[in-house]
Amino acid sequence: MDLLILTQTYFLIIEVKNIVGTITYDPEFQQLIRHHENKESVFKDPILQVHRQRQQLQYWLSKQSLIHPIPILTTVILSNPQSIIKKTPNLTTGTFPLIRPDKLTSKIKELSKLYTQALITIRDIKKLAKNLKNMHRENDENVLNKFQLTYEDLIKGVNCPKCSFIPMEQQRYTWFCPKCYLNDKMAFQYALLDYFSLINSSITNIQLRDFLQVSSRNTAKRLLKSANLIQLGTNKGTYYSPK
């Protein structure tokens, strides 16, 4: 949750997305498609995201012994002034759920006209705010989401542990850095660790080939076996996780 506004008549959850490029919102398939520098990437639907946050907040509030349930509203702001926002043709403008930052004030004014019944005292709001702050955790969402990147944005290949050059060249039994001439048999292990912390907690043979830019299935298999991982699943469904 990026921002939460507490008023006496409603609460408003605001999610801020800073995405560069041309953004198309497609509620039918619950996705946000970004076109940027001739590349297309897909982001999760931010509307679904705020709805999930609303459910969580509702649940939390239900444990807070409030007298009246208070309406929880949501909005998503696209904060990058350079981004171009488009909608899929089946969406009418009136229901378009993403707004620019400068529309927030008028949105709040609008809501204050719609929601007029005070359901909570200022004192209770302060108490709630304090409790919320106490349980606030920096979200553990992964680094890619944090910087609005996708898998496609990453430079693939093994990076040199000494000079960070990417990609190292794979030689028969080692990895060679054409920049600093380092030979390191286990260099790919660092890339694997990156994969586990950035992308997923497990990896398949085909995913390893793409991420490390290895062409042969057997080489990928050999690398996975030598990386001291746990092997799970069988045949085509085989995947590997760190121990």
**Whole-number Cα distances in Å, 86 to 20, 28, 158:** 13, 14, 37
**Residue 177 binding Zn ion, by CB under 5 A:** yes
Only one of the segments 3-11, 79-87, 113-121, 175-183 lies at the binding site for Zn ion (rule: CB under 5 A); that segment is 175-183
* The two three-digit tokens of residue 117, written as one number: 């019944």
CB atoms inside a 10 Å sphere around CB 28 = 8
Nearer to Zn ion, 20 or 180 (CB): 180
Nearest-approach distance from CB 156 to Zn ion, in angstroms: 17
**Residue 162 binding Zn ion, by CB under 5 A:** yes
Nearer to Zn ion, 179 or 222 (CB): 179
Only one of the segments 11-19, 23-31, 174-182, 217-225 lies at the binding site for Zn ion (rule: CB under 5 A); that segment is 174-182
* The two three-digit tokens of residue 175, written as one number: 């990895």
* The two three-digit tokens of residue 127, written as one number: 């108490």
Nearer to Zn ion, 151 or 165 (CB): 165
For the window 179-208, what string marks contact with Zn ion as x by the rule CB under 5 A?
Answer: xx-x--------------------------
User: Which residue in 70, 77, 160, 192 binds Zn ion (CB under 5 A)?
Assistant: 160
Residue at token pair 């490029």 = 21
The full DSSP string for 140-174 is ---HHHHTT--GGGSPPSPPPTTT--SPPEE-SSS
Nearer to Zn ion, 7 or 159 (CB): 159
Nearest-approach distance from CB 158 to Zn ion, in angstroms: 10
Whether omega before 178 lies within 30 degrees of 0, making that bond cis, reads no
**Residue 169 binding Zn ion, by CB under 5 A:** no
The contacts of residue 188 (CB under 8 Å, 6+ apart) are 158, 175, 212, 223, 227
CA gap 188, 228 in Å, rounded: 12
Nearest-approach distance from CB 165 to Zn ion, in angstroms: 4
Residues near Zn ion (CB under 5 A): 160, 162-163, 165, 177, 179-180, 182
